[in-house]
Amino acid sequence: MAAKTYKIRAVVIRKTRLGEKDLIVTMIDESGALVKGVAKGARKPGGSLAARLELFSTVDALMACGRSLDVVCEVRLVDVKSIPRELELSSCVAPIAELLGFVAQPDLMQPRLYEMGRAAIARIADCQGQSAQALAICAASLWKVMAQSGFRPSFTPCVVCGTRNLPGSGETTAVSVLDGGAVCANCPRPADAIMVDVETVRWCEALIRSKFDEVLEYEMDTAASFEVLQLARMWIRAHTGRDLKSLDFLFTSGLF
Ligand SMILES: [Zn+2]
pLDDT at 52 (0 to 100): 87
If you write DSSP's letter for every residue of 170-233 in order, what string do you get?
T-EEEEETTTTEEE-TTSPPPTT-EEEEHHHHHHHHHHHHS-HHHHHHHT--HHHHHHHHHHHH
pLDDT at 229 (0 to 100): 98
H/E element holding 51?
helix 48-52
* CA pair distance 36, 240, nearest whole angstrom: 20
pLDDT at 207 (0 to 100): 98
Span from the CA of 66 to the centroid of ligand 1 (angstroms): 53
Residue 9 is assigned to a structural domain of this protein: yes
DSSP 81: G
pLDDT at 1 (0 to 100): 62
Residue 223 is assigned to a structural domain of this protein: yes
- Are 7 and 18 spatial neighbours (Cβ–Cβ below 8 Å)? no
Span from the CA of 186 to the centroid of ligand 1 (angstroms): 5
* CA pair distance 8, 26, nearest whole angstrom: 13
Span from the CA of 216 to the centroid of ligand 1 (angstroms): 33
Q: How many domains is the chain built from?
A: 2
Residue 33 is assigned to a structural domain of this protein: yes
CATH number for 56 = 2.40.50.140
Residue 43 is assigned to a structural domain of this protein: yes
Span from the CA of 165 to the centroid of ligand 1 (angstroms): 9
Span from the CA of 226 to the centroid of ligand 1 (angstroms): 27
Residue 219 is assigned to a structural domain of this protein: yes
Task: Give which of 25, 31, 24 is closest to 12, Cα–Cα.
Answer: 25
Span from the CA of 175 to the centroid of ligand 1 (angstroms): 11
Task: Give which of 101, 20, 17 is closest to 53, Cα–Cα.
Answer: 17
Residues in the chain: 256
* Cβ neighbours for 141, distance < 8 A, ≥ 6 positions apart: 96, 116, 117, 120
pTM exceeds 0.75: yes
- Are 223 and 132 spatial neighbours (Cβ–Cβ below 8 Å)? no
User: Which domain, by its residues, includes 15?
Assistant: 5-81
pLDDT at 159 (0 to 100): 94
* CA pair distance 157, 182, nearest whole angstrom: 8
Do residues 50 and 148 share a domain?
A: no
Do residues 140 and 210 share a domain?
A: yes
pLDDT tens for each residue of 106-129:
999 999 999 999 999 999 999 999
If you write DSSP's letter for every residue of 138-179 in order, what string do you get?
HHHHHHHHHHHTT---B-SS-TTT---PPPPTT-EEEEETTT
Span from the CA of 156 to the centroid of ligand 1 (angstroms): 10
Do residues 222 and 137 share a domain?
A: yes
First-last CA distance in the chain? 54
Residue 126 is assigned to a structural domain of this protein: no
Q: Per residue of the chain (256 residues), what is the pLDDT tens digit? A: 678 999 999 999 999 999 999 999 999 999 999 999 999 998 887 777 877 899 999 999 999 999 899 999 999 999 888 899 999 999 999 999 999 999 999 999 999 999 999 999 999 999 999 999 999 999 999 999 999 999 999 998 999 999 987 888 899 999 999 999 999 999 999 999 999 999 999 999 999 999 999 999 999 999 999 999 999 999 999 999 999 999 999 999 999 9
Q: Tell me which of 81, 113, 145 is where a domain ends.
A: 81
Residue 183 is assigned to a structural domain of this protein: yes
Residue 91 is assigned to a structural domain of this protein: no
Span from the CA of 220 to the centroid of ligand 1 (angstroms): 29
